[in-house]
Structure 1
Amino acid sequence: MIVRAFSAATPPARRDALRALLTTWSGSRLAHPGLRRGVVKIETPVAVASPTGAFFALALTPEYPGLYDGWRRRFIEYGEAPRTGEILDVSPLPEGRVTPGRLAAVVARLRAHGPAPWDPAAVDHLTERTGLDRAAACLLLAGLPGVDSSARDFLGEETRALMGVTAKEAARARDEFEEITESDRRDFYEAAIPDEPWDQQALADGLATAWIARYGRRVPVPDEAMTAVSALSPRTPAGRLLSALAAPELCDDLTTGADTGPAGAPRPERIAPRDLGPLIEDLATVLPWAYAHLPGGHPVRARLAEVLALARLRLADPGLSLKVERDWGEETWVEEAVDLLRSDGYGEMAARAGLLGDGEWEADPRVSTPGLAEIVAGTLGVGLDAGVLYLQLLALLEPTDRHVRTWNAWTPARHQKAVAELLERGVVMAAKRERAGRGVFLPGGWTKAKAPNLPVETWKLALYPLDTPRWLPSRSLPGLFAQAWDLVTRGEGPA
């Protein structure tokens, strides 16, 4: 509340309401120590006062497991006052740092100076210390405004312009905080707020210290990787998922099990099992994505072998908890994900992740399988570039012009020269096709696809598992190149 009151990102009308609430709070008995809080079962909110105390049943539903019960409400009390309803839980309210004097100082500062100017440098400091992306740091510095809203543009254009974030970036950042409960947020900000909360640099420093103490430091990942993974619609927030790939030793869900810790080391204590289904499903998608769609040396790609080893260790943990909901006996996606992560193909991809030099691409046959690229060129009677392009058109799902030029470090002119050679040999055909991103194709059928997948030649579909949400390789690209070329040499190629 105090953070939002001082934040320039808070709309003026909302800030005025917060200031009025803080003014009332600072002058009330509720700002003094000795309060108790709890849960009461009662139909409607109620306030009961006596000369020795007061009891307030609030219009707030507590966070608790089980079926929703609208009669369960939070209450707060002090002194001795008649209680109403059935008391389900009660405990002393931690005194913390909120005192009448501190609240009065906050209100006086707000009246005299208004909100603190928005400080991009404070955002940068918070990002640098925590590893959170810039949009997430903006939300933290502003007091997590609107994070419980399901609206796409929950911040509004004016606030986003002040922060310098897009609606898509803000929505992605909101996902980072969805699993943090209201009570955890309150405790977090209580620990983070400095003595002078209007000092944005001091606030950023306090937020960073409190975040690292509770949730650990994230390994920063490039924004383009965040955007690409968000497009895969993972169940795990994109920042958390990419941080697990970049620094798997910092991911509790990968390193800590019911009976095993890092590398299977025995643990003397037991911890409650967690449903790792979302993470397992996401790893089955993001691991082949990172392997095939990122260059050598990328921080998200470099440690895939360690990530897969830890995931397999967790899958072998007898305390593992996975929620499986079958429909008519069919295998669920989480079960398919488990099979993929245990497969030899995923082992191949992970083992090759560290073999590329910085900036090299596995999708470039000159790098990943140079001998085969020369064989193809010789067999077709074309130059090496044309042989490379033919392998890419033959085996890869998305050999768009932009991708091919990126993988191969080609200029448009060099690319078009390779295309011309293949067209002259008659092994590919020129055409215009919707959402293809290229103008040359293998002969034969054409299969349309819904985004984020691209339409593709029907012949190559047999090389890929298509029962996954995102079409991605299930084995190494050198293996796919070899498999596709073998079909061609056996007379089973595209026609």
Structure 2
Amino acid sequence: MRFTAIVEAVTTGLRWAYAELPAGDPVRDGVAQARDLLLRRLDNPDVLLNNPVRHVPPDTITGRFGTVRYLRRGEHDADFVDDGLTVVGIDREGRSGLFFRPAELDKDERTGHLDLTVTESSDTDLVRKVAEELGLDVDAAALYLQFLALPEPTDHNVRTWNHWSPARHRKAGTTLLGRKLVVHGSRTRAGRTLFLPGEWIEYDWLGSVHPREKFKDDLTAAAETSDRPGSFDWWLLPDRFAFAWNNRPAP
């Protein structure tokens, strides 16, 4: 947990230093070296980062991550398994624990198993709440949260994150459209045809910021005045989804 907090602090600090400090400032000049040091550390196969998922069902653990036990300090912990990328299990008190090795990310299908598990477990309770309050099925509720909280919910990204087929994606989108929670249209560099109602912002920053709904800029500004430290873009997904839902556009 301590190293995870350090990673969050360093990445936030690097972004701030490079964007806010003038050229020639010794802190700004050290950004590249600090970045390289962090990347080298993350490339160490012994580094495990924590992902605070709320619940991972036992059958999901063995079905996706196998049954090879996690070796810790020379002893087997019978409740945790290790597929080389992900270490996951349920502790003695019934709480889920999920850790991953950043050095092993994006090498094979194991990353997809990790992504799917995080997506399913990080916001399950909130998805159910949204579905109940808005009278939606869980797919439509999940998609609505992604429209609210994520900067680039393109068709490609959504289908990748959720492991959805085009047909399943279209069905969820059609539900939102029918409830007037989104609108259909065409926007510059959007990569999608459904949008939150309201103004669309196009940036002219050499493509460094993706165009998006103005609501998301307002949401980011509101987040920066909250008690939660760090940039909204670096918040953990459960926190981002919850904040976006609590600050969603008025119907």
> Structure 2-normalised TM-score?
0.53
1:395 to 141, 144, 149: 149
Q: Which structure has the larger Rg over C-alpha atoms?
A: 1
Cα pair 1:429 1:440 within 8 Å, conserved: yes
Alpha-carbon separation, structure 2, partners of 1:301 and 1:462: 36
Residues 407-422 of structure 1: matches in 2 within 5 Å? 407-422=161-176
Cα distance in 2 for residues equivalent to 1:442 and 1:494:
11
Does residue 447 of the first structure (1) align with residue 201 of the second (2)?
Answer: yes
Is residue 360 from structure 1 mapped to residue 157 from structure 2 by the alignment? Answer: no
Aligned partners of 1:459 and 1:494 also within 8 Å: no
Give 1:476's aligned residue: 236
Deviation of residue 236 (structure 1)?
A: 4.3
8 A contact 2:201–2:212 mirrored in 1: yes
Contact 2:45–2:104, Cα closer than 8 Å, also in 1: no
More relative contact order in 1 or in 2 (CA 8 Å, sep 6+)?
Answer: 2
Residue 246 (structure 1) aligns with: 43
Task: Give 2:32's match in structure 1, choosing from 235, 249, 253.
Answer: 235
Q: Which runs of 5+ in 1 are unaligned?
A: 1-233, 251-295, 303-355
Post-superposition shift, 1:458?
Answer: 0.7
Q: 1:378 offset after TM fit, Å?
A: 1.7
On the 8 A contact 1:245/1:301 being kept in 2, the answer is no
Q: 1:387, 1:415 → 2: CA distance?
A: 12
Q: Distance in 2 between matches of 1:433 and 1:377?
A: 27
Q: Is the 8 A contact 1:463 1:480 kept in 2?
A: no
* 1:486 and 2:227 are equivalent in the alignment: no
1:374 counterpart letter in structure 2: R
Name the CA distance, whole Å, in 2 between partners of 1:494 and 1:448. Answer: 23
Change (3 A) 1:464 1:472: same
Distance in 1 (alpha carbons) for counterparts of 2:152 and 2:171:
20
- 1:438-487 CA deviation, whole Å, 9 max, x = no partner? 110000111112323211111122332699xxx86132221111111112
d(CA) in 2 for partners of 1:439, 1:247 = 41
Instruction: Give the equivalent residue in structure 1 for 2:219.
Output: 463
1:435 Cα shift? 0.8
The amino acid of 1:439's aligned partner reads T
Q: CA deviation at 1:298?
A: 5.4
Partner of 2:60: none
- 2:197 is matched by which residue type in structure 1? P
8 Å contact 1:442–1:494 — kept in the other structure?
Answer: no
Work out the CA distance in 2 between the residues paired with 1:396 and 1:477: 9
> 2:177·2:184 contact (CA, 8 Å) conserved in 1?
yes
SS at match of 2:102: coil
- Residue-by-residue CA offset, 1:260-301 (whole Å, 9 max, x unaligned): xxxxxxxxxxxxxxxxxxxxxxxxxxxxxxxxxxxx745249
SS in 2 for 1:382: coil
- Aligned counterparts of 1:300 and 1:462: Cα–Cα separation in 2: 35
1:25-44 matches, within 5 Å, as: none
* Structure 1 letter corresponding to 2:150: L
- The CA distance in 1 between the partners of 2:45 and 2:220, in whole Å, is 27
Counterpart-to-counterpart distance in 1, 2:46 and 2:139: 41
Q: Does the C-alpha gap of structure 1 residues 247 and 460 become closer, same or farther in structure 2, counting only changes over 3 Å?
A: same
Matches within 5 A, 1:133-148: none
Q: Which residue of 1 aligns with 2:177?
A: 423
Q: Tell me which amino acid in the other structure corresponds to 1:461.
A: D
Runs of 4+ in 1 over 6 A off after TM superposition: none
Provide TM-score, normalisation by structure 1.
Answer: 0.28
Taking only the aligned residue pairs, the percentage that are identical comes to 39
Offset at 1:249? 8.6
Q: Which residue of 2 aligns with 1:370?
A: 124
Contact 2:219–2:247 (CA under 8 A) maintained in structure 1: no
In structure 2, relative to structure 1, the CA distance for the partners of 1:300 and 1:380 (3 Å cut) is: farther
Q: How does 1:267-278 map to 2 (within 5 A)?
A: none
